[in-house]
Amino acid sequence: MNRVSRFLWFCSGAHIATLEKHPTDHNKYIGIGATIFFTGLFAALSGGYAMYFVFKGGDLAWLFSIFFGLIWGLAIFNMDRYIVGSLDKNASSNKQLLQATPRILLAIMIGIVISRPLELKIFDKEIKEKLKVSYLNGQRSKIDTLNKAFDKKYTIEIGKLNELKAQRDSLAAAIKSDRQKLNYEIFGNKTTETSGVMGYGPYAKRKEAELKQREQNLDTLNVDVRQMEKFVDGRKQFDGLMSEKLFTSKQLDSLANIAGFADRNWALGQLSFNPDGSKDFNTSLAVTFIGLLFIFFECLPVFVKLMSARGSYDHAIENAEKVQTHLSDKDRDADITVADQIQDTKISVKAQQKIDELRSV
């Protein structure tokens, strides 16, 4: 028998020396062993990929991921091998099902654990896009929160600034309107507020003097507005508002690439929902299907063992166990007999010693 077959028998948890004598069961246990082996292999890939994100960015991230992947794969392999090997095909169907129930539940948990990191890799592109949107929305929310806190903290100063701006804008609009009226007066355009006589007369001179005074007031208001804006900008700089900006596309790409396992796992869960909060059935079905595929693959060795008929190998194992049990009972009886004889001999020896002592008195 070639080494590959023997290795797969070992993976299935079968007793190789007994299985070699029953060729009709060889293929069955090769299939079971191959399923357990590939489950352990997928577990190693899954665990290594998950650990890569834990140490992502470090110089030895790949080494840690390989080491943990091997350890995790061997642990799952050993657990699956025990789960399948411990099922007793010589028991009744109900007892086999009862034995398999906790093992199936454990297999489901293992399938969920090993499928998640692989799902993260499969939906890597969609996860990155979801993370970019999340980071951008988070930055917007942070800036809005800072602005609201700043407005609440400097309510008086901001109110005064807005009042000065309103006065400035109102005065600037009034000056513009009066300047137009003055031009109408000078060039003889007849309106309800102008004489219609061309020339630079007393009325025009008086209006121009008033405009100059109002322009000086406007200049003063502009100075006050600039001073207040400078003060408010200084407060914003001090409170960190000026340094907070929305992320650029390059920054979002960088953040998405270095996202940790927790962020990526959250983003994978969010793929099942549309931006408006409704359920995205297509994506949700795809994620669920992949997860169920790994769960079924993990449970497959147990199902195969349960569904397979009792073969000659199982009968041989039952007989071997009976022989071993019988030999163990005989060894027990022999040990008990030997112990009884030793005890009887001890009693005889002690009794003879007592008799000899009494005779010597």
Same domain, 155 and 187: yes
Q: Cα torsion for 343, 347, 348, 354, to the nearest 10°?
A: 160
pLDDT > 70? residue 78: yes
Expressed as residue numbers, the domain containing 343 is: 313-356
d(CA 200, CA 183): 10
1 — pLDDT class (breaks 50, 70, 90): low
Of the candidates 352, 310, 323, the one whose C-alpha atom is nearest the C-alpha of residue 24 is 310
298-319 pLDDT, tens digit each: 787 778 777 777 778 877 877 8
Same domain, 155 and 237: yes
pLDDT at 271: 84
Q: Is residue 298 part of a domain?
A: yes
Rounded to the nearest integer, the mean pLDDT of the chain is 80
216 — pLDDT class (breaks 50, 70, 90): confident
Number of domains in the chain: 3
Q: Is residue 128 part of a domain?
A: no
Same domain, 9 and 85: yes
Same domain, 187 and 241: yes
Same domain, 166 and 148: yes
Alpha helices in the chain (DSSP H): 3-12, 16-19, 26-54, 61-85, 93-122, 124-153, 155-186, 202-239, 249-257, 261-270, 281-307, 312-359
Q: Is residue 268 part of a domain?
A: no
pLDDT at 94: 79
Same domain, 41 and 79: yes
Q: Is residue 270 part of a domain?
A: no
pLDDT > 60? residue 188: no
6-46 pLDDT, tens digit each: 898 898 888 888 888 888 888 888 888 888 888 888 888 87
Residues 6+ apart with CB under 8 A from 310: 89, 90
Same domain, 61 and 96: yes
pLDDT > 60? residue 164: yes
pLDDT at 183: 67
Distances (CA, A) of 134 to 126, 146, 256, 267, 335: 12, 18, 10, 9, 74
Same domain, 116 and 225: no
Q: Is residue 131 part of a domain?
A: no
pTM for the structure as a whole: 0.56
User: Is residue 224 within 8 Å of 164, Cβ to Cβ?
Assistant: yes
The secondary structure of residue 273, as a DSSP letter, is B
Higher per-residue pLDDT: 252 or 247: 252
Q: Is residue 266 part of a domain?
A: no
Same domain, 226 and 306: no
Same domain, 97 and 198: no
Q: Is residue 338 part of a domain?
A: yes
Most confident option among 111-115, 149-153, 187-191, 247-251 = 247-251
256-294 pLDDT, tens digit each: 877 777 888 888 888 888 877 788 888 888 888 888 887
Q: Which two tokens stand for residue 208?
A: 């121009």
Same domain, 62 and 158: no
Same domain, 161 and 245: yes
Q: Which two tokens stand for residue 255?
A: 């953040």
User: Is residue 195 within 8 Å of 203, Cβ to Cβ?
Assistant: yes
Mean pLDDT, residues 89-102: 76
Q: Is residue 75 part of a domain?
A: yes
